[in-house]
Amino acid sequence: MTLSSLLHILEFVQLFVETNERLCFMNVSPGEVIRSLFYNKNNDSLITVSVYSSDSFSSLKCRSTRIEYIRRGKPDAGFALFESESLKWPGFVEFDDVNGKVLTYSAQDSIYKVFDLKNYTMLYSISDKHVQEIKISPGIMLLIFNRATSHVPLKILSIEDGTVLKSFNHLLHRNKKVEFIEQFNEKLLVKQESENLQILDVRNTELMEVSKTEFMTPSAFIFLYENQLFLTFRNRTVSVWNFRGERVTSFEDHMLWHPDCNTNNIYITCDQDLIISYCKASSDDHWAEGNAGSINISNILTGKCLAKINSTNHPLEADDCGCSSNCSKQKYSPVRSTVSEALEDITALFYDEERNEIYTGNRHGLVHVWSN
């Protein structure tokens, strides 16, 4: 989900916080569990991706609801999307806000389909049982095929119409597992087990390598398109790299709370100059209590920690539903938490750049707002 999509979804959170009223439940059917949300700026609607108890939560179902209906408390005024598609696991749906496209995969018949995000019309399909994975970048898609003994076949397609722009084989070390293949514009990043990182320029086939002792396989990437850099996450640490294979930033105080890099707890500003994360409290943090972490704000280009929200004993109010789902007024009763309690078990984090507020949610279902 992109930053702009999250920003518009947070409008609902803001309205809830300001009015203390629930707008509606987006779950419109019995046994429905919403897995993810996507704000479609093209038609001012919210897309829900759900699973249902009726089929043992095995198939994804998508639904589009205009924002005006949600504000009126009429979530059932939406309509179903991609009804012709079988999205049973390991099938999936992926929303691409940058290119304005939707990618679906039907595992049943091994067909990928690309839809227009504006009107949900199908643009083209890719039917090939040998496609192992698809990566999406601005304007293009990378098709990664099942590897051969000494190479992996790759194709670069136009995201608009599926035209093949380039088809080539990337040589591999025999009997070495491919740990990842990532696409960033014209750059291809390939890493095999116990081997150096390879950075290939697909325009001119220029290849450079980064020592395996310098670059170890991360658990996640975030590409910074504005700065032509990328972030790697490994063992709670964050590093910033350029495409010459150079580490440009190491952070002085930014040890992430989750060892496996839960990106729900990380926010990158639109200018891509700041990273805000849920972190482990430092050993010299005398305010830290129990299992409370901290919210750290760091400069991406320098690695300096600019600000930190620590545990204190000052009271903090968070709104939690204190009534039943059929309450006519749909009012909420405040639940009081200490800052230390609010900093425990955070599962989601968002920064509203316009309002200069940080929103956090925890495993208890509480939303806290941090503001100056």
Q: What is the CATH number of the domain that holds 258?
A: 2.130.10.10
Instruction: Report if residue 29 sits inside a domain.
Output: yes
Instruction: Report if residue 58 sits inside a domain.
Output: yes
- Long-range contact set of residues 366-369: C-beta below 8 Å, sequence gap at least 24: 366/318, 366/319, 366/320, 366/335, 366/337, 366/342, 367/13, 367/17, 367/318, 367/319, 368/316, 368/318, 368/337, 368/342, 369/17, 369/318
Please indicate, yes or no, whether residues 280 and 169 belong to a single structural domain of this protein. Answer: no
Please indicate, yes or no, whether residues 228 and 163 belong to a single structural domain of this protein. Answer: no
* Residue numbers of the chain with a pLDDT score lower than 70: 1-20, 282-290, 312-336
Of the residues 217, 233, 266, the one at which a domain ends: 217
**What is the residue type of 241?**
W
H or E stretch at 3 = helix 3-19
C-beta of residue 24 within 8 angstroms of C-beta of residue 70? yes
End-to-end CA distance of the chain: 27
Q: What is the CATH number of the domain that holds 138?
A: 2.40.10.480
Instruction: Report if residue 319 sits inside a domain.
Output: no
**Residue 8 burial by CB count (10 A; 0-12/13-18/19+): exposed, middle or buried?**
middle
Domain extent for 226: 218-312+338-371
CA distance 104 to 62: 11
pLDDT score for 252 = 87
Contacts of 354 by beta carbon, 8 Å cutoff, 6+ apart: none
Closest CA to 276 of 288, 268, 285, 284: 268
* Number of domains composing the chain: 3
Question: Look-up: residue for tokens 């398109």?
Answer: 225
343 three-state secondary structure: coil
pLDDT score for 102 = 97
Please indicate, yes or no, whether residues 222 and 342 belong to a single structural domain of this protein. Answer: yes
**What is the residue type of 286?**
H
Please indicate, yes or no, whether residues 87 and 144 belong to a single structural domain of this protein. Answer: no
Please indicate, yes or no, whether residues 183 and 226 belong to a single structural domain of this protein. Answer: no
Instruction: Report if residue 178 sits inside a domain.
Output: yes
Please indicate, yes or no, whether residues 140 and 213 belong to a single structural domain of this protein. Answer: yes
pLDDT score for 290 = 57
Of the residues 157, 189, 217, the one at which a domain ends: 217
Please indicate, yes or no, whether residues 258 and 355 belong to a single structural domain of this protein. Answer: yes
Instruction: Report if residue 271 sits inside a domain.
Output: yes
Strand partners, 169: 153
pLDDT score for 20 = 59
Please indicate, yes or no, whether residues 232 and 245 belong to a single structural domain of this protein. Answer: yes
Please indicate, yes or no, whether residues 168 and 192 belong to a single structural domain of this protein. Answer: yes
Angle at 229 between CA 225 and CA 235, to 5 degrees: 120
CA distances from 295 to 131, 162, 218, 238 (A): 40, 42, 22, 15
pLDDT score for 180 = 93
pLDDT score for 285 = 56
Instruction: Report if residue 308 sits inside a domain.
Output: yes
Please indicate, yes or no, whether residues 258 and 289 belong to a single structural domain of this protein. Answer: yes
51 three-state secondary structure: strand
Q: How is residue 244 written in tokens?
A: 């010459």
**What are residue 319's phi and psi, to 5 degrees?**
-85, 135
C-beta of residue 94 within 8 angstroms of C-beta of residue 87? no
DSSP-assigned letters across all residues of 156-202: EEETTT--EEEEEEEE--TT--EEEEEEETTEEEEEETTS-EEEEET
Q: How is residue 240 written in tokens?
A: 């910033």
Of the residues 179, 195, 217, the one at which a domain ends: 217
